[in-house]
Structure 1
């Protein structure tokens, strides 16, 4: 029995080493938490800028009667707000991920596993970004919100095989919420805030308590 237990422990250690070499396991729950908070702040800014009824029911009919200059200003504002949220989220996520890797003694974060993760996610993300720009070009603003959720969810699912499998569950939630948002166009901003805000906060807290707090 002791010898069998030692063999089992050895196999477990070997499996853990193989997993660490093939998967990027330094994603921090605090990265998800910060992403959610940043997204909520961005949603509040958009909500405030585009009048209060946009949170409850986005009046696309009202937007349609505006002239091209007003519609272009709205689209430009949405693109700028999204870029600011994206860049800020990436900076915060990078900081917390690097900090976790250093605490785990993993050294350089930019390695083969992180490169595989990035490539797996960047294809659906770039595709979705270009697709959303096309929707904005044709004034299909109401489809832009669910499209960002759907493509982001696809990116998470595609990248989950190179990192923590918990990311896959978040991806399915994002896709489901995005599909629901297609049929609730008046609540696009609200579903966007839930998807990128609330879900990230819940995911981040769950990951932190599951993987990081016990080892802190």
Structure 2
């Protein structure tokens, strides 16, 4: 299958397509202003569920993709709690990227090269994907989604745990992780890799100080290769 060449390298999930994995739909947790979604559409991906709790980014997403068939947007934050709660989202001054429910550790700048002035606070609903998808059950079908992207500034493992049994429906994952945690409460990348490995996902890219790690569900590529 032919894909837009620029789009293939603009977004990390292009690596899955180049390996022959057909992406039916993407669940993007921490979608920010929708930069990646533009490229998903250029790759021919029609089913997109974007989750973005930061108020300004959510409003931009709603406006930008208003009326676009197949795109659904939620304003909740995701975690692994037993019940929905209200959390405080810390938002950097002058930027919506980097918003987090956690507290940055003092050595974070040395790892990412970026520091934020978290001067804004927003109350957000925090729930699990398992509960969120129930609310969307009348408009989406999970069988239409097999790729998960998570960019949540330290909450990666909590978000994954909150997927419950729905995680096994994914074929490929793109998870931003840190080798050494840069937020209080963040799991190190090695723990995320090990946890996913126990659930049938193999990392196909290395652990780096702070970068995306790509995972493929065990057996998916064997099926593709016959």
Normalising by structure 1, we get a TM-score of 0.26
Q: Which structure is higher in RCO with an 8 Å CA cutoff and minimum separation 6?
A: 1
Greater strand share, 1 or 2?
Answer: 2
* Higher Cα Rg, which structure: 1
Normalising by structure 2, we get a TM-score of 0.25
